[in-house]
């Protein structure tokens, strides 16, 4: 029945928009407008789209102009508003959008992700059950060259196809997820120095309260990271975040953290070898490139080990992670 359909808002985080061009953002916005129109045609109420950005309130007019230019259909199918969070980090922007949202459900989407057809109805359908609190979508990396194919193979997202085992165990995707609004309003993404730690902490909050995270095949693709400077920085951050997660969820003891840095290095190196060898053909990677892809993947997690080990041993301080301007796609 139409009355069973939840009302909803969508929060679009604009931090990553600083590192991609408006043509790419426009692809995602057009896809979002298409998805909203599709569910509205089945009886869902007109939603609110909250664009949460890291600029000033005065930047809203410029953003609104870009949105109208890239995706004029979005304003026809949704009420679009802009919420400033000056210098806000990734999770700050997500939390910043929550008070401006309305409806029963809050959907989180990033500016550098592009929904596939059927994404939104698949994400919303489980909320017809009043017991549903969290629905997690399937995010994968797009790829069109050697470097992006390698990232698709070694990244923490499942691949688009042929990765059912990994996909079934995927962690929550802050860039493709929906929550019951009353729950996320009282349980925002926890503040943390880490770059991508808060979503893991939120996932554990859900588990601790006994909530089931429903994984559905609501697909979006994420633009691939690019550039060697990003590669170096992201690898080190990945290691530091691994240590931070271990401290929060397991033990702050320095000796155990150091041991974990070595065991994680071994685990991720083996995982990289297995995934590249098994899945490279699915990305269209030629056989002759596989050894080079393995080399890049193992280098990434070796750098991650150094990041992990350095923080675990106290060689570097636990400082707030921010995205450098030079890294490109994130």
85-116 residue pLDDT tens: 998 999 999 999 999 999 999 999 999 899 99
The total number of residues written for the chain in this structure: 330
Nearest alpha-carbon partner for 126 in 13, 32, 211:
211
- Cα 220 to Cα 31, 165, 184, 294, 322, distances in angstroms: 10, 18, 22, 26, 25
151 φ, ψ to 5°?
A: -60, -40
Query: Is residue 279 over pLDDT 80?
Result: yes
pLDDT in tens, 244-263: 999 999 999 999 999 999 99
Q: pLDDT digit string (tens) for 105-156?
A: 999 999 989 999 999 999 999 999 999 999 999 999 999 999 999 999 999 8
**Of 74-78, 164-168, 307-311, the least confident:** 164-168
Per-residue pLDDT band for 328 (boundaries 50, 70, 90) equals low
Helix H segments across the chain? 22-40, 60-70, 72-77, 90-97, 119-124, 146-154, 164-168, 181-186, 198-208, 228-249, 254-279, 290-313
- DSSP letter (8 states) at residue 194: S
Inter-residue contact 63 to 47 (CB < 8 Å): no
Burial 35-66 (b: 16+ CB within 10 A, else e): bbebbeeeebeebbbbbbbbbeeeebeebeee
Task: Check: CB of residue 53 under 8 Å from CB of residue 85.
Answer: yes
Mean pLDDT of 169-188: 94
Checking if the pLDDT of 266 tops 80, the result is yes
Element (H, E) at 49: strand 48-53
Q: Angle, to 10 degrees, between the axis of helix 290-313 and the axis of helix 254-279?
A: 170
For 2-222, give the CATH class.
Answer: alpha beta
The residue assigned the tokens 């922007």 is: 93
Q: Reduced to 3 states, what is the DSSP secondary structure of residue 59?
A: helix
219, pLDDT greater than 70? yes
pLDDT at 3: 61
* pTM of the full structure: 0.94
Q: What are phi and psi of 79, to 5 degrees?
A: -90, 115
Nearest to 83 by CA among 109, 108, 59: 59
User: Residue 139: left (phi > 0), alpha (psi -120 to 50), or beta?
Assistant: beta
258 and 312 in contact (C-beta within 8 Å)?
Answer: yes
Q: What is the mean pLDDT of residues 311-325?
A: 93
Q: Please give the C-alpha separations between residue 56 and each of 52, 84, 175, 322, 328, in angstroms, as whole numbers.
A: 11, 6, 23, 18, 22
Structure token pair of residue 317: 């301080």
Q: Where along the chain do its domains lie?
A: 2-222, 228-313
Is it the case that residue 168 has pLDDT exceeding 60? yes
Mean pLDDT, rounded, for 78-91: 94
Predicted pLDDT at 37: 98
Q: What average pLDDT does the chain have? A: 92
Residue 2 is predicted with a pLDDT of 47
Q: What is residue 16's predicted lDDT score, i.e. its pLDDT? A: 53
First to last CA, the chain: 41
CA 264, CA 3: separation in Å to the nearest integer? 49
pLDDT of residue 330: 46
Tell me how crowded residue 326 is: count the other CB atoms within 10 A of its CB.
10
What is the reported pLDDT for 17? 53
Token pair 């309130």 in the structure block, residue? 57
User: What pLDDT, on a 0 to 100 scale, did the predictor assign at position 1?
Assistant: 39
């Amino acid at each position: 029945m139409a009355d069973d359909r939840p009302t909803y808002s969508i929060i679009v985080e604009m931090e990553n928009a600083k590192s991609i061009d408006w043509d790419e953002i426009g692809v995602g916005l057009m896809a979002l407008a298409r998805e909203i129109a599709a569910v509205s045609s089945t009886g869902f109420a007109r939603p609110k789209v909250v664009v949460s950005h890291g600029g000033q309130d005065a930047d809203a007019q410029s953003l609104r102009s870009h949105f109208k230019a890239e995706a004029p259909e979005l304003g026809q199918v949704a009420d679009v508003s802009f919420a400033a969070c000056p210098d806000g980090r990734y999770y700050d922007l997500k939390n910043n959008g929550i008070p401006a949202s309305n409806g029963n459900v809050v959907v989180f989407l990033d500016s550098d992700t592009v929904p596939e057809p059927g994404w939104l109805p698949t994400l919303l359908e489980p909320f017809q059950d009043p017991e549903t609190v969290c629905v997690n979508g399937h995010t994968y990396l797009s790829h069109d060259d050697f470097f992006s194919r390698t990232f698709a193979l070694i990244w923490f997202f499942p691949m688009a196809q042929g990765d059912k085992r990994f996909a079934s165990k995927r962690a929550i995707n802050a860039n493709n997820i929906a929550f019951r609004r009353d729950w996320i309003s009282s349980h925002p993404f926890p503040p943390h120095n880490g770059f991508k730690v808060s979503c893991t902490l939120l996932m554990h909050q859900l588990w601790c309260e006994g909530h089931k995270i429903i994984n559905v095949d609501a697909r979006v693709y994420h633009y691939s990271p690019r550039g060697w400077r990003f590669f170096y920085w992201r690898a080190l951050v990945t290691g530091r975040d691994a240590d931070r997660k271990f401290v929060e969820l397991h033990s702050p003891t320095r000796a155990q953290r150091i041991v974990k840095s070595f065991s994680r290095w071994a685990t991720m190196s083996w995982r990289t070898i297995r995934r590249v060898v098994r899945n490279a053909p699915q990305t269209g990677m030629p056989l002759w490139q596989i050894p080079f892809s393995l080399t890049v993947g193992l280098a990434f997690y070796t750098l991650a080990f150094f990041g992990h080990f350095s923080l675990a041993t106290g060689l570097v301080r636990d400082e707030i992670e921010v995205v450098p301007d030079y890294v490109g796609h994130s």
